[in-house]
Amino acid sequence: MGLEIATTKLEDAANWGRKFSLFTYPFVTACCGMEFMSVAAPKYDIARFGAEFPRFSPRQSDLLMVVGTITERQGPILKRVYDQMAEPKWVIAFGVCASTGGFYQNYSAMPGADQVIPVDVYIPGCPPRPEQVLDALILLMKKVQEGRGHSQVRHKRERLAARGEGG
Amino acid sequence: MAGAVLEALRARFGGAILETTSAYGDDVAVVKRESLHEVAAFLRDDPAMAMSYPCYCTCVDYLGMELLTISPTTPLAVPAIPSSLPEEAPRYAMVYELRSIKHRHRIRIKVPLTEGDLKVQTLSDLWPAFNWLERETFDMYGVAFEGHPDLRRIFMYDEFIGHPLRKDYPKERRQPLVRREFSDE
Amino acid sequence: MSEQPQASPQTVTLTIDGRQVTVPKGTSVIEAAKQVGIEVSAFCYHPGLTVVAVCRQCLVKIDGQPKLQPSCQAVCADGMVVHTADDWSRGARPQMLEFTLVNHPIDCPICDKAGECTLQQLYFEHDNAASRMDVPKVRKPKVVDLGPHIVLDAERCILCTRCIRVCDEVAGQHQLEMKNRGDHEEIATAPGAELDNAYSINTVDVCPVGALTSKDFRFTMRAWELMTTPSICTGCATGCNIEIHHKNERVWRLVPRFNAEVNRHWMCDEGRFTYHKLRTRRMVAPAIDGLPARWDEAIGHAARLMAAAIQKSPAGVGVVFSPQHTNEDNYALVRLAREMWGVTRFYVGGKGPVPERADKILRDADINPNRRGVKAVVGDATIAGAQVLGEDLSQGEISALLVLGHDLELGPEPMERAAMLEALVVIADSEEGIAARARVALPSAAWAEVAGTMTNRQGLVQRLHQAFAPPGQALPAWEIITRLGQASGAALGYGHVRQVFEEMVGKVGELSGQAARWGRETRPIQLRFANSRG
Amino acid sequence: MAEIKKLVLGRKIVEDLDEDQELPSELMTVNMGPSHPAMHGTVRIVLTVDGERVVESDVQPGFLHRCFEKESEYATYTQIFPYTDRLNYISPMINNVGYAMAVEKLLGLTDAVPVRAQYIRVIVSEISRITDHLTCVGASAMELGAFTPFLYFLKAREWLFELLEELSGARLTYSYVRIGGVVSDLTPDFHERLIDLLDKIDGVMLEVEALLNNNRIFRDRMEGVGPFSAEDAIAFGLSGPVLRACGVDYDVRKDNPYLVYDRLEFDVPVGSAGDCLDRYLVRLEEMRQSSKMLRQCMRDIPAGPVIVDDPRVAMPPKKEAYNTIEAMIRHFKHIVDGIRVPPGEAYTWVEGGNGELGFFIVSDGTGRPWKCYCRSPSLINTQSVSKTIQGHLISDIVPIFGMINMIGGECDK
């Protein structure tokens, strides 16, 4: 894919900053929202990872948490929210419904949020335990640092293409 | 107490009450479609009935149910599925449950509906609670409620074709509004 | 008991669980009980086989008899009083089941019969007690190859002998026997014989447990996952009634469905394998000169070709009907050809006869399911066959041909001539045979994918139900014909196959004679909830 | 108030504006949702506003339609429990209990359920009611700007989640109830832990009440907002705390006692104005009453089995299922065919977290329901929002919606 370019120190520094200040947009639709509350609440305390600040405006957030079942009717909404977020942006599919549809395999439930938007980290569980969510957050941080998030990769590719160095 | 409501209904409406049963402590009156509104208004307004509380309304699709009424111990290779079945029999039944908070009694009204003529008079003018419930029934089963002020889909989107809770709607037939294009990633 | 039913020399009246029932003389108690809605549990009894009363599961109390009697063997007598639900006979069933289960292996998770197993069902209904055994179970051979289609697991066998009787009585060949004694008794092939008769898979159907399994089906699909849709076997002109067991748009097996007038409880092995054709060499998209095309292009092209040929000489245009397709498909084609196009050169295609397969049981020499229906629908019992078509083609009398169905037994020379016709339009589900040579090939749905009727050799009009959607872009043939009519300016006006049927019943003499009814559409039912098996 | 009005867009006449007159404005359509911070779950409200005041509204639920009914028609009776968990996902146990009771009614087992199991069902239901109200009140307070009660209440909810996790193995979606009883007995130290927790929760509630009840901002935004008359409430089919806040003394636990509720002593709090404050107060008091009931249950619960002794309904123990053919068959029939329920139809209703939670089941005699309708209180309660918010300010929608406590899973099914 022509991605074997050396990351500069500046990018490393920027990614380091990004990974510790993820502003979350909780796209809360269903049961998993209850566990999302628990993750945010004192005991599990997502603030320890610098991602405690839910922004309910997509333009101010860089982490989209898809929390709960995505139905076909919600598809366009989810896509619009994602499109409105500023680059670089990351997506976590919170729970098995957002990942694959889970045991809702029917005319209304969409088989996973990745039918509509690219997802960086999937969290299994129905709903996932708060520990799993924190684990996923750490995984995402690693991904952010290494520049492997979907939007980071796309950005790099576009930059390379613009420079005419292939893509 | 249990049969009193049914008794009163039979006495007052006679032929409009097609059948009454009381199973599991639930009183059920099967009412002709034409008389539904009248019966419901009577149940609400008559002081002896005083069924002011609308519990729920829904629809049942009986398509193919008669096929399954064979004893579980039927030996092998007895026809499970008769090749021909009555076509005129009503396929759907509307179900309304009403309750009286005052008298602590309740009733379930069923209205049989045939496939070709799937409409019934709305009760949302008597109880505003039925507004959304009838919209839900319309959405899921396609029952047309005559006189309903705002009959449109409630759970599914407007682009959706068909009525998903009908027995002949396959469970996994999705009608996607939007899908991701993988080419640009 | 105020009113005593009229005594008649042909019938007897008895009382079962307090309910009076009058049955013909010679009826067994178990059958009489069935008439009043009482199911007596049984393993060895099968309504289509002789009675042996070896399983002792159907014991009931008959007043005046010192012991419990097997209800399958006890013959109804006047004034007999039977109890099936008293404490004594109710107590006998769990006892018998306990004996049956003593040596039964814990195989349910790996057993093909699980989910439709009579033993599971009867234990669950009548016993449900925990095991009291603390000795090891008797071990027997697990995989015994009995014949080309059947494998035996002797441990699971409960020795009901149904399979022995199926071979003896249905197929008329003695191929299975019992060997050894006591708890070492097991089923085996008769000396020098193999279980290779033409009806051998019926032994799997009647087996109340998973002892006999079909090589074709074993380990492919769990029975309770399957959906079932009633249909008709299209293997030959007999038209055995079947259930299609399918899942995920795919047929996994065919099993017989009881019909007293046609096949009773049975069907032949060959018929069971007809479903394999549904997944081989299917045509999934319309093609013009072998290249894939859109439906409107293909239909338009076909209509233009036919119209040009008809304009040139209507007498040179031939239409080939298919005894592999439903009455509705053929009827729509008759109307299009005769009334709309004015074509009268009719032939009937289909597979050629196989005289050696005919027997007096079920199998017919004609391996087309609907030849009689085609003749009735076309209204010409002497309609020319493929032989005449071949001659006509060789003599150059035909300029255009519209063929329904890919089966057309033409010699190599006529086939080449057909391929060179200016118009050869083929509506078929497979890309074999003449379909491969078509100028325009239109993919049709196959028998498991359509609703319709077929007429068997006795003249019975039987209903096919749609089990699942056709593959790719294929459409039911009647719909293709309707579209073809539209494209050539002749509106047949069918919106649903039922309209075709209703019009056909009114017009075709042979059909209107019977009380032919379409019936309600059936929905595929999940087998585990259908209660039809096991 | 006047300051707010001056911010209104779309004014018509600016020149001859009288200082004492209201600023004239034209009607405007505003979309609230589908993804909005103040909306629990996804719901969309299309508002027609005159300035800040709502003239007309169209509440559109259905964004979380997960086909509970269609899924139920394809699952055995036991397999439906997980789906019921996800209806009202802040009080799943009540859904479990309500559904199990409907099936038991068809099976004729209502009275056969062991008394201990009935007590356990009441215990888990009341714990769930507390978690439900804790979440509802906490989240609503947060939406009104009071973040601390949210943290306090979620902390308390966490304790209860941990207790239920110990009991059922899951934090949120328990599937703990079975047809004919419950899946396992209470854990050995359940009694002590529960009583201990109830004491702690009483303390938390005192703290939160101190923070909210006389808080000027909170009261201003709750009191007199969204009043509902008793007649309207009945005609709209409201139920639960929302109905009782309107002054209707109707609680399923009292008026149609199920399980062992008739043996328990508790009061039903009733409001008078039907406004948001009443709804809040009713919820707080209900938590106290639930706590009281739980203490009584823990005192009275008898020893005994926790599931009905009927092999056709109860699964065999796992050890036997793997070692004897008899139990294996039984296990198999349960899993594959499901519990065969005689043909018929029945409706059973319980007092859910949000109101009357009912299940209308039509059986055809097989192992799965022909139809399994859920009378969801959320859907019917949410229907009243449109009427309630009429004439109120946009900012009032937040407490009104919060106090209706619309749960997406239950409302959209």
Is pLDDT at C529 greater than 70 in this prediction? no
The domain boundary residue, chosen from C196, C219, C242: C219
Residues with pLDDT less than 50, chain D: 1-14
pLDDT at residue D9, as a whole number: 46
Alpha carbon distance A4, D64 (integer Å): 43
Enumerate the residues of chain A whose CB falls inside 8 A of the CB of residue D83: 103
**Domains of chain D with CATH codes:** 2-60 (no CATH), 68-412 (1.10.645.10)
Is pLDDT at C152 greater than 90 in this prediction? yes
pLDDT at residue C514, as a whole number: 57
Per the document, the length of chain C is 534
For residues C86 and C115, membership in a common domain is answered with no
Q: Annotate C256-283 with DSSP letters as a single string.
A: E--BTTTTBT---HHHHGGGGGGGSSB-
Is pLDDT at B141 greater than 70 in this prediction? yes
Q: 3-state class of A15 per DSSP? A: helix
Q: Annotate D325-374 with DSSP letters as a single string.
A: HHHHHHHHHHHHT-----SEEEEEEEE-SSSEEEEEEEE-SSSSEEEEEE
For residues C88 and C127, membership in a common domain is answered with no
Is pLDDT at B131 greater than 80 in this prediction? yes
C531 with B72: Cβ contact below 8 A: yes
How many domains does chain C divide into?
3
Contact present, C278 and C446 (Cβ < 8 Å): yes
The per-residue pLDDT for range C281-297, each reduced to its tens digit, is 899 999 998 899 999 99
Alpha carbon distance B133, D237 (integer Å): 11
For residues C497 and C393, membership in a common domain is answered with yes
The per-residue pLDDT for range C237-252, each reduced to its tens digit, is 999 999 899 988 899 9
Residue C512 pLDDT class (50, 70, 90 cuts) = low
pLDDT at residue D7, as a whole number: 40
The reply to whether C160 falls in a domain is yes
For residues C424 and C511, membership in a common domain is answered with yes
Q: Is A114 on the interface with B (CB under 8 A)?
A: yes
Q: Helix and strand tally (H, E) in chain B? A: 3, 7
> Between A55 and D40, whose confidence is greater?
A55
Report how many Cβ contacts below 8 Å link chain A to chain B: 47
Q: What is the mean pLDDT of residues C17-37?
A: 90
In chain C, the percentage of residues whose pLDDT exceeds 90 is 48
Regarding pTM above 0.95, the answer is no
Q: What is the mean pLDDT of residues C423-440?
A: 90
We report the CATH number of the domain holding residue C116 as 3.30.70.20
For residues C56 and C199, membership in a common domain is answered with no
The domain boundary residue, chosen from C100, C129, C163: C100
Calculate how close chain B gets to A115, using CA atoms only, in Å.
Answer: 6
For residues C63 and C175, membership in a common domain is answered with no
We report the CATH number of the domain holding residue C73 as 3.10.20.740
Q: Which residue on chain A is closest to B177 by alpha carbon?
A: A72
Domain membership of residue C196 as a residue range: 105-219
The per-residue pLDDT for range D303-325, each reduced to its tens digit, is 989 988 888 888 888 888 888 89
> Between D40 and C466, whose confidence is greater?
C466
Beta pairing class for C525-526 and C227-232: antiparallel
The domain boundary residue, chosen from C219, C236, C260: C219
- The residues in B 134-163 lying below 8 A from A, measured between CB atoms, are 155-157
pLDDT at residue D4, as a whole number: 41
Distance of alpha carbon C328 from the chain centroid? 20
Alpha carbon distance C319, C343 (integer Å): 8
Q: What is the mean pLDDT of residues A27-50?
A: 83
Is pLDDT at C500 greater than 50 in this prediction? yes
Q: Which residue on chain A is closest to D84 by alpha carbon?
A: A31
Instruction: Report angle CA C357, C360, C364 to the nearest 5 degrees.
Output: 40
Query: Which pair of tokens denotes residue C70?
Result: 């097997």
Find chains touching chain A: ≥3 CB pairs under 8 Å. B, D
- HEC string of C191-257? CCCCCCCCCCCHHHHHCCCCCEEECCCCCCCCHHHCEEEEEECCCCCCCCEEEEEEECCEEEEEEEC
Residue in the structure block whose two tokens are 């991701």: B180
Going by C-alpha positions, the residue among C300, C399, C303, C395 that lies closest to residue C345 is: C399
Is pLDDT at B57 greater than 50 in this prediction? yes
Residue type, C58: C
B156 with A106: Cβ contact below 8 A: no
pLDDT at residue C288, as a whole number: 92
The per-residue pLDDT for range A111-148, each reduced to its tens digit, is 888 889 999 999 998 889 888 999 999 999 999 888 88
Reported ipTM: 0.81
Per the document, the length of chain B is 185
D324 with C129: Cβ contact below 8 A: no
The per-residue pLDDT for range D79-118, each reduced to its tens digit, is 999 999 888 888 889 999 999 999 999 888 888 899 999 9
Instruction: Please give the C-alpha separations between residue C327 and each of C220, C321, C492, in angstroms, as whole numbers.
Output: 34, 10, 16
Identify the helix (H) or strand (E) that includes residue A145.
helix A130-146
The reply to whether C266 falls in a domain is no
Is pLDDT at A8 greater than 70 in this prediction? no
Q: What is the mean pLDDT of residues A68-97?
A: 89
Is pLDDT at B77 greater than 70 in this prediction? no
pLDDT at residue C332, as a whole number: 93
* Burial (Cβ within 10 Å: 0-12, 13-18, ≥19) of residue A10: exposed
Contact present, B135 and B154 (Cβ < 8 Å): yes
Is pLDDT at C517 greater than 70 in this prediction? no
Q: Is D311 on the interface with C (CB under 8 A)?
A: yes
Going by C-alpha positions, the residue among A107, B130, B54, A38 that lies closest to residue D89 is: A38
For residues C421 and C522, membership in a common domain is answered with yes
For residues C50 and C161, membership in a common domain is answered with no
Q: Which residue on chain D is closest to B101 by alpha carbon?
A: D250
The reply to whether C204 falls in a domain is yes
Is pLDDT at C522 greater than 80 in this prediction? no
For residues C52 and C160, membership in a common domain is answered with no
pLDDT at residue C476, as a whole number: 93
**Residue C10: left if φ>0, alpha if ψ -120 to 50, beta else—which one?**
alpha
Q: Is C258 on the interface with B (CB under 8 A)?
A: yes
Is pLDDT at C425 greater than 90 in this prediction? yes
Q: Is D200 on the interface with A (CB under 8 A)?
A: no
User: In degrees rounded to 5, what are phi and psi of residue C299?
Assistant: -65, -45
Is pLDDT at B74 greater than 50 in this prediction? no
For residues C48 and C126, membership in a common domain is answered with no
Best of D46, D59, D65 to disrupt the B interface (most B CBs within 10 Å) is: D65
Alpha carbon distance D158, A38 (integer Å): 7
C39 with B71: Cβ contact below 8 A: yes
- The residues in C 101-130 lying below 8 A from D, measured between CB atoms, are 101, 104-106, 108-109, 114-115, 119-121, 123-124, 127-130
Residue A4 pLDDT class (50, 70, 90 cuts) = low
Of D346, D358, D383, the CB nearest to B132: D383
Find chains touching chain B: ≥3 CB pairs under 8 Å. A, C, D
Q: Which fold has domain B4-65+86-175?
A: Beta Polymerase; domain 2 (3.30.460)
- The residues in A 102-161 lying below 8 A from D, measured between CB atoms, are 103-104, 106-109, 126-127, 129
Q: Is A38 on the interface with D (CB under 8 A)?
A: yes
Distance of alpha carbon D404 from the chain centroid? 10
Query: Which pair of tokens denotes residue D252?
Result: 């399923």
pLDDT at residue D118, as a whole number: 92
Is pLDDT at C501 greater than 70 in this prediction? yes
Best of B139, B141, B177 to disrupt the A interface (most A CBs within 10 Å) is: B177
For residues C142 and C45, membership in a common domain is answered with no
pLDDT at residue D1, as a whole number: 39
Residue B21 pLDDT class (50, 70, 90 cuts) = confident
pLDDT at residue B182, as a whole number: 63
* Burial (Cβ within 10 Å: 0-12, 13-18, ≥19) of residue C329: buried
pLDDT at residue D125, as a whole number: 92
Q: What is the mean pLDDT of residues C504-528?
A: 71
Is pLDDT at B88 greater than 90 in this prediction? no
**Domains of chain A with CATH codes:** 9-161 (3.40.50.12280)
Query: Which pair of tokens denotes residue A77?
Result: 């909404």
User: In degrees rounded to 5, what are phi and psi of residue C296?
Assistant: -65, -35
C228 with B79: Cβ contact below 8 A: no
Is pLDDT at B78 greater than 60 in this prediction? no
We report the CATH number of the domain holding residue C330 as 3.40.50.740
For residues C77 and C110, membership in a common domain is answered with no
pLDDT at residue D101, as a whole number: 92
